[in-house]
Each structure stands twice: as structure tokens, then as C-alpha cells.
Amino acid sequence: SYTKPSNAPPCFPILLSILCRKYDFINKGPLELIQDGYKSLGDIFQIRLFHRSVVFLIGPQAHKIFFEAKDTQLSQREVYIFTIPVFGKNIVYDASPKIMQQQLKFMNKGLNLIHMKAHVGKIVMEAEEWFNKWPQTGQIDLIKEFSELIILTASRCLLGKEIRENIHQEFAHLYQQLSDGMSHLSFFFPNAPTNAHKKRNLARIKISKIFEKIIKQRRINQEIQYDDFLQVLIDARYLDDSIPTDDEITGLLLAALFAGQHTSNITSTWMGLLLIKYKSKWMSKLLDEQKQIMNKYHGELSLESLSEMNLLHAVMKETLRLYPPLVFLMRKVLESISYNGYIISKGDIAVVSPSIAHRISDVFKNPDEFNPERFLGENAEDQIEKFSFIAFGGGRHSCLGERFAYLQVKTIWSILLRKFDFELCQEHPEPDYSTLVVGPKAPCMVKFKRKIDSF
């Protein structure tokens, strides 16, 4: 039985709340309930889930202790165990803390500014080719369309041209089987003997074999220069000068792919839906920005031109504020920590929620309104306090792919805005809480028409 320490965070009685209030878990997920906890108890409270205390930390000040804690205090590994069958043994969350840190550094290197130039060129090429194939007019499901495009760009930038040019279809199929093996069930029981898990495990073995061959070839043909993420991992060295094994390289590639693919796809889709919904207010301003910058750079989409598209950037950020794909970030408490006189005890789960945090009206004015300009200028609303905007997390484990994600999603919408007019064909969709990464409920149908005066 559970005895609550006297200075434990106040407890939000979920069973009683569920009995007293009708929560729409199907459509609204667990967020309404957490929002109620925040409204009634403040920025730190706990709920009891099975035998465990889950402590919620809401708002910039409470986020600070979450994001500034050391790995020895708040640990990711225990809550990300479900990734091990996909990423593999001794990779990231299954590795010792020292090895994990070095592996994250390898990934960071592959996504840094120096490599970004090469990545952007490839993203632009894939996206332009993709949208050139669209007919004059038509209807598409944005989420399906972007998912297919983003796996192509990820293939080219991260996995390498061997996959992209020779066996893209085969890889996409195996990747789908890995994705299907990462459900809510897998989160709690990653090794439950289900069909999806069996297929996932087989797909992981096949993918490892594919990369073993490619890596071997690259090690033999050293005279060919590659500028992709795979090559950064092949060239990586641990501190003791040992090289990552082929299976570790494969796992790190898969980790980057999983971190970036669904999140970027979802963000591109929400961004389109919001842009089309609010086009009367924002479209002409966005097109002015596009005209001005594309003129300045002689029509070339590049790292430089994309970096100057401030309004487009703010639109993406505002999209992520309203619809962050990761709605909860979690850690296992390894050493008790305190906040505002409360103790978060060893063994608890600490949680922050970008979805809840981004709708706090003291931090973001009229938080339900779509207003990209809140992020522009000296008084940008997220600059007043650190850890206000947390769609990419924060602190030592903040997203390593943030720059890549912005460039990818901005490329897609820079091309689409300049080449096509859009109209919605349906109501604005609700978020779909049935998957771990939360996107809009599919399908997300829109009508498009190629512009006569595209530029």
C-alpha cells in the first residue's frame, strides 16, 4: 500500500474526476484531465497510475527543474525502453550512460550546421521533384503525401544514396513494419508476443543486413566521398578510439529516422491545414516574404534563403505551439528532487506536457488563437522566460534535429505556397491520440490548383 510523504506533490484524484466529469478520452486524449489537474492544483501535482506516482510539472518555472536535471537524477532510459527492439541492443537508451552520450554526439555531428548545407540541397531536390509531378489540379491527403515525401528526403540525407536509389521501396516497407511495432501496447509491453512485434523484429534483422552490406562497401571504396549522416556515423569514433559496430550504426540511423519522420510529417500537415484555414489573414504576408527573399537569392532555395524566411519560420513554430507532436515528455526519477517545497521521490515518473504548457494564457496571449507574429520581434512571447516553448524539449536532451526539421518543413511550404493555391475539403481535424506521436486524424484532404503566376 502507498503512504504519501508529507511533502509529496498534491494528488489529483483521477478516478473521482473521471466519475464526476465526462472526459472525452477518445477525441481529447488525456489532456483535458491533466489540464484540470493544473487548474485545480497548480504547476506541480501528481496522479496515481496503477502503483506509481506520475508527477506533472507545468509551466516555464517547473520545466526548469525537469530540463536542467542531470541524467543521474531524471533518466530517459526507463521510459524509452520500448525503443530497444527497434533501435537495437547497446544503442542509445539501451547503452550505458557514457556510451549513450557519445552516440548522441555522433548524431549531433551529423545534424550540425556544416552538414546541413548538404542536407538542404538534397531536401530541396527531392521536394521540387515531388511537387513537379503534381497535376494542374487535384485533391490530396496531406498527411499521406508528406509521409511519402519525407521518407524520401530522410532516405537521401540520412540513410544514404544506396538506399534511396536502389532499394527505396523495400526499405519503406520494412520501415513501416518497424513503425507498426511501436504502438501504445509496445510502450507498456515492448516484447508482448504479438504479430506486429514479430514482424518488427524480423524487419529489424533485415535492415541490419542491408546496412551491413552498404557499410562494408563504403569501407572498401574509401575514395568515394559521401556527405550524408550515414557517413558521419561510419567515420565516428568512441573516446577509446573504437568504431561503432555496423549494428550500432544501423540503430543510430533508425533512431534519427524515428525521431524525425513522423514528427516532421505531422508538423508539415498541421502547418498546411492552419495556413489554408487562416489564409485570408496570413497568405499575402507570406507571399510577400517569399517574393522578396526568392528575388534576393535569384530563385534559389538554400540554407541562406530558407534561414531568412522569418514569417514562414514563425508559422511553423506557431503550428508546433498549437499542435506539438510529442504531447508528453517523461523521465524516471532516480534521485529525489524538490520543487517549491515539494519532493518528487525516487521511483516516480516526472512528466512535462508541451500541449498543456503551450496553452498557458500567462505565457502565450490568447493561447488558442493562431498568431505566428507572437514569435517575431524583440518581444517574442517565448523569449520572456526560458522553457516556455518546449515542442523540441529543452536542456541537455533537447531535440538534435530541430534545425533539420525547420529546414525540411519550410522547404516544403516555401515551394507549395509559391506554386499552388489551396482550399480545404473538410472540417479542421482533431488530434489523433491513438498513436504515440500525435498528429491530425487522417485523412486531411485539400484541393490544390497550380498557380499561373507561380515563382
Of 125 and 399, which has the nearer Cβ to ligand HEM? Answer: 399
Which amino acid is present at 149?
Answer: L
Among residues 88, 393, 431, 440, the one that binds ligand HEM under rule CB under 6 A: 393
Contacts of 289 (CB under 8 A, 6+ apart): 309, 310, 311, 312
Among residues 130, 146, 392, 413, the one that binds ligand HEM under rule CB under 6 A: 392
Residue 455's Cβ-side half-sphere holds a number of Cα atoms within 13 Å equal to 14
Q: Kind of pairing, strands 439-440 and 445-450?
A: unpaired
Enter the DSSP assignment of 11.
B
Residue 186 CA to residue 62 CA, distance in Å, equals 29
From 15-23, 104-112, 127-135, 373-381, span contacting ligand HEM (CB under 6 A): 104-112
- Binding to ligand HEM (CB under 6 A) within 110-149 occurs at 111
Measured CA to CA in angstroms, residue 442 lies from 52, 196, 265 at distances of 34, 21, 12
Give the shortest CB-402-to-ligand HEM separation in angstroms. 7
Of 286 and 351, which has the nearer Cβ to ligand HEM? Answer: 351
x-or-dash pattern for ligand HEM, window 325-344, by CB under 6 A?
A: xx--x---------------
Residue 450 CA to residue 455 CA, distance in Å, equals 11
Residue 50 CA to residue 97 CA, distance in Å, equals 28
Of 74 and 210, which has the nearer Cβ to ligand HEM? Answer: 74
Q: Kind of pairing, strands 52-57 and 349-352?
A: parallel
Which amino acid is present at 355?
Answer: S
From 187-195, 230-238, 260-268, 410-418, span contacting ligand HEM (CB under 6 A): 260-268
x-or-dash pattern for ligand HEM, window 152-191, by CB under 6 A?
A: ----------------------------------------
From 57-65, 256-264, 376-384, 447-455, span contacting ligand HEM (CB under 6 A): 256-264
| Per rule CB under 6 A, count of chain residues that contact ligand HEM | 23
Give the shortest CB-163-to-ligand HEM separation in angstroms. 15
Among residues 99, 167, 283, 399, the one that binds ligand HEM under rule CB under 6 A: 399
- If we measure between CA atoms, which residue out of 191, 230, 232 comes closest to residue 86? 191
CB 414 within 8 A of CB 407: no
If you search the block for the grid coordinates 505551439, which residue do you land on?
321
Residue 340's Cβ-side half-sphere holds a number of Cα atoms within 13 Å equal to 13
From 48-56, 220-228, 259-267, 356-364, span contacting ligand HEM (CB under 6 A): 259-267
Of 410 and 418, which has the nearer Cβ to ligand HEM? Answer: 410
Among residues 153, 186, 263, 355, the one that binds ligand HEM under rule CB under 6 A: 263
CB 435 within 8 A of CB 342: no
Q: What is the SS3 assignment for 370?
A: coil
Which amino acid is present at 307?
Answer: S
Give the shortest CB-16-to-ligand HEM separation in angstroms. 30
Give the shortest CB-270-to-ligand HEM separation in angstroms. 10
Among residues 123, 391, 416, 446, the one that binds ligand HEM under rule CB under 6 A: 391
**Surface-to-core class of residue 264, CB atoms within 10 Å of its CB (0-12 exposed, 13-18 middle, 19+ buried):** buried
x-or-dash pattern for ligand HEM, window 400-429, by CB under 6 A?
A: xx--xx------------------------
Give the shortest CB-20-to-ligand HEM separation in angstroms. 32
CB 351 within 8 A of CB 332: no
**Quick check: 231 binds ligand HEM (CB under 6 A)?**
no
Residue 408 CA to residue 385 CA, distance in Å, equals 27
Task: Enumerate binding residues for ligand HEM (CB under 6 A).
Answer: 76, 104, 107, 111, 256, 259-260, 263-264, 267, 320, 325-326, 329, 391-393, 397, 399-401, 404-405
